Structure 1
Amino acid sequence: MKNAEELIISGIQSPNVLGGLSLLQSCVSIGELLTILPQEHLLLDLFSANYERSVNKERLDKLASYYLKSVTNNTPFDIPNISLVAYNQAREESLYERVVSLQYDRKESAIVDGFLAISALSKLLDRVDPFTGKKVNKSVLTSKQKQVLMDIDVRLSVYYCQNKKINEETISKLFLHINTLDTRVYSQSIITQVQESPLNLGAEKLAQALNLDLFGGISDLNKITKSDSYVTTKSTLIQILLASLGGKGARVEKQLPTHLPNKTLITAQVIEDALITLIPFMRGWVSCLEGKFKQDSNGFHRSMQIWQAMGVVAYELNHENDLTETDLFSFGQTLGRLDYDKSALHWGKCPAFKKDASGKVWINATGGGRTFRDKVATYFVSLLGLNDTKIH
């Protein structure tokens, strides 16, 4: 660095990013990043009025919590990506093939991506938030942990145009495009793996209570295949638990629900109460299928919708009076003793099924996973002698 404002950063040059711009991609430590950020923020007026709204605060808190846990637990994490525009005649020097050094004035740069990450890092390092001018409560990190955080790398992207000024319209468009496109893939399975919820903890307790590791364990992915040794998935256990609490009306949308359909808050105690019924019932079911899990990889006992139907049945059992743990275990055994072979004749009594083109095996007749689950649950309830008209 020539002076306090003149920066020299080395990295990989990408000359083909459209709009006449080039891009330098580099890595710098968080400590170094905080020294090279511009002091004035060209685009602040575009978001300052909304920066402290609840949606941004929630996202910032999630980032800070994520970074905090990664540092305290020493676990790998998705390092932040910070993007700047060096808008006034940046100068590059070729070092080797596409490796270049870029020289520009810090005062003539603008942040276009990574605002919340910068705020979260500032919060953990007891620094003033550069976008609000506020300093939050003292960080829970120790001095040693703060140094660990300072030494972690971030991805730094610098857009520039060599020896030419980038106009404000181009900078503004780049900022808007980056901050309006949600490029992360969405999946309920992803959400159930990372979201902190009593449902997650309850699913883990259910897996332990059923000793599922003895039969092949549970998968973190959303499905299992014939070649897998797993017997079910974590997502399925969450769905079972949720159905046992709220019946077929309870569902996972973009996040794990915080309330049941009747508005009851899902707390750790609510989960514990549900497990009192669910665990002995599922134990009875699993106890009859231990051999099947190891010997037959192609029966309906490996269908995640069949597993989830057990949650709907458990919901009905929750509404039966004076059922003992022995009763619940016995109900589970009754369903566990069914023939789960895909050609078993009894599936013909369940409207969820129809014969395939060969006429030999049963397949889903409903066209949907949730509808299939619910019709199987109705069939199971009828086999237990419960009043299936109660299923909501």
Structure 2
Amino acid sequence: MTELHLTGRVAFRNGKTIKSLVTYLPAIELENYVFVTRIYRDLEVIYDAAKNKTNLKKVNEIQEDLKKELLIGEIGSPLSLTIALEGRPKLTTIGEQGKLIYKRSSTLIVGDVLLLVAVLKILGIKAPLFSSRLSSSDIKKNSMLRQMLANEEVMLTFVFDDENGLSEAQVKEFFLKYNRQHSGLHLTQFSKTDKEFPLQPFVSQLTRDLNLDEYGGVSTKSKHVKASESYLTTEYILFKFLVGAVAGAQVQEKCMMSDDVTFSSGKKVSSILSDGRIDYIEAFLSAWLQPLKQGNKSMRAGFRLSAQIWQALSLVVYQLIVNGDSIEKIINAGLALGELDYSKKATHWHNCEVMALDSNGRLFKNSANSTREYRNGLATYFYNFVLGHVDVK
């Protein structure tokens, strides 16, 4: 890859190999010198959690501030971003001035992420959190603002170690530390380690009791399982499954991993799980996973590992328990749903209101207007399927 060269003022810390170089670039040049959309796999959960209404509101407010500063001349703070450089970049110095030689692929923006998103959205450049696609009306309406912002100088602070190099783990920790110390990004995970959440003991119990490592394991690095990965599921999906099976669709949709999920009555999901609900959940999942025990890779294809499928199944468990069905009948429901064909060509999806054939008429796809509608539609379909195949009364 092409090496990039930047000059600026270098700051040293006595006795430390970590250094920083401060330089300035026009906003329009940012994506040429920094990998603005790069997200570590270990940070995907955090970025997903950062896609919330509070942060979107802040981005919109920053955009309004920039608009007033550039078009009206209001006073504002200088644009500033902090970037970590993974590996060992090359540094040459003359006094306090330095030249940094590095690869764009080694950069990760640690702060200020919301300012970065606001700038990129105005410029119409792809941003790491929220969509930056400009409509034709926006292009006409904000052309002057975009031109002015494009030439606005952004102060960049590159943090690096040209002697020992920074590992991915160090850069990740720096990202978390920076965002704990700077209050711009709204994310409750920064108040605790990224592996702690109130229902984690129950997620760990499911993982252990069901021997999920045998099926590919549970990812702690992202919300969803990617097709290229061997994981069975993720901690996030298991968390949502637990909440759905205990509290139903509405609480499942709104809850976050950092929450100690509570009903309107004040009763906690964790206490209900401890009182025995976890046994019903384990029984269902153990039965549902039976077809995967054979190691047939085709059983992993299609929709089976989809987060929405898992969450919909948890709502079936919830309904069966609300109905007062025994654990034996819940096991039978798990067995029936486990044998269901989850491939995208399965003809039974014709009977599901939130599935439809694609434009080629070959594969089924989500036809719902929203994720909520899709998930609830799947839950209804699965529940009716169980009623037709299992004596649950």
* Matched residue SS, 1:363: strand
- What residue is the counterpart of 2:201 in the other structure? 201
- Is contact 2:292-2:299 (8 Å) kept? no
* Matched residue SS, 2:365: strand
- Is contact 1:249-1:261 (8 Å) kept? no
Deviation at 1:295, TM superposition (A): 3.4
Deviation at 1:322, TM superposition (A): 5.0
Residue 246 in structure 1 maps to residue 229 in structure 2:
no
* Matched residue SS, 1:224: coil
Structure 2 residues not aligned, in runs of 5+: 1-11, 26-91, 98-158, 160-178, 389-393
Deviation at 1:230, TM superposition (A): 0.7
- What residue is the counterpart of 1:237 in the other structure? 238
- Is contact 2:312-2:375 (8 Å) kept? yes
- What residue is the counterpart of 2:211 in the other structure? 211
- What residue is the counterpart of 1:283 in the other structure? 286
- What residue is the counterpart of 2:70 in the other structure? none
Aligned residues: 229
Structure 1 residues not aligned, in runs of 5+: 1-7, 19-94, 101-156, 158-177, 387-392
Tell me the alpha carbon deviations over residues 174-208 of structure 1, each in whole angstroms, 9 at most, x when there is no partner: xxxx99964548599999953430x2111111122
Residue 316 in structure 1 maps to residue 319 in structure 2:
yes
- Is contact 1:305-1:370 (8 Å) kept? no
CA 1:329 to 1:255, structure 2 compared with 1: closer, same or farther past 3 Å?
A: closer
Instruction: Return the alpha-carbon distance in structure 2 between the equivalents of residues 344 and 192 of structure 1.
Output: 42
- What residue is the counterpart of 2:305 in the other structure? 302
- Is contact 1:13-1:98 (8 Å) kept? no
- What residue is the counterpart of 2:267 in the other structure? 265
Instruction: Return the alpha-carbon distance in structure 1 between the equivalents of residues 383 and 190 of structure 2.
Output: 28
Identify the range of structure 1 (359-368 vs 261-270) with the bigger mean alpha-carbon deviation.
261-270
Instruction: Return the alpha-carbon distance in structure 2 between the equivalents of residues 350 and 9 of structure 1.
Output: 63
Deviation at 1:291, TM superposition (A): 3.7
- Is contact 1:244-1:313 (8 Å) kept? yes
Instruction: Return the alpha-carbon distance in structure 2 between the equivalents of residues 266 and 182 of structure 1.
Output: 29
Instruction: Return the alpha-carbon distance in structure 2 between the equivalents of residues 99 and 187 of structure 1.
Output: 39
Letter in 2 for 1:210: L
Structure-to-structure mapping, 1:136-175, within 5 angstroms: none
- Is contact 2:291-2:299 (8 Å) kept? no
CA 1:190 to 1:293, structure 2 compared with 1: closer, same or farther past 3 Å?
A: farther
Question: Which of the pair has the greater relative contact order for Cα pairs under 8 Å at 6+ separation?
Answer: 2
- Is contact 2:303-2:344 (8 Å) kept? yes
Percent pairwise identity: 25
Residue 332 (structure 2) aligned to one of 330, 340, 346: 330
CA 1:241 to 1:362, structure 2 compared with 1: closer, same or farther past 3 Å?
A: same
Letter in 1 for 2:387: G
Instruction: Return the alpha-carbon distance in structure 1 between the equivalents of residues 303 and 190 of structure 2.
Output: 21
- What residue is the counterpart of 2:94 in the other structure? 97
CA 1:237 to 1:98, structure 2 compared with 1: closer, same or farther past 3 Å?
A: farther
**Alignment TM-score, normalising by the size of structure 2:** 0.50
Instruction: Return the alpha-carbon distance in structure 1 between the equivalents of residues 205 and 232 of structure 2.
Output: 16
- What residue is the counterpart of 2:44 in the other structure? none
The structure number with the bigger radius of gyration is: 1
Instruction: Return the alpha-carbon distance in structure 1 between the equivalents of residues 232 and 180 of structure 2.
Output: 41
Aligned residues: CA RMSD: 3.9
**Alignment TM-score, normalising by the size of structure 1:** 0.50
CA 1:255 to 1:284, structure 2 compared with 1: closer, same or farther past 3 Å?
A: closer
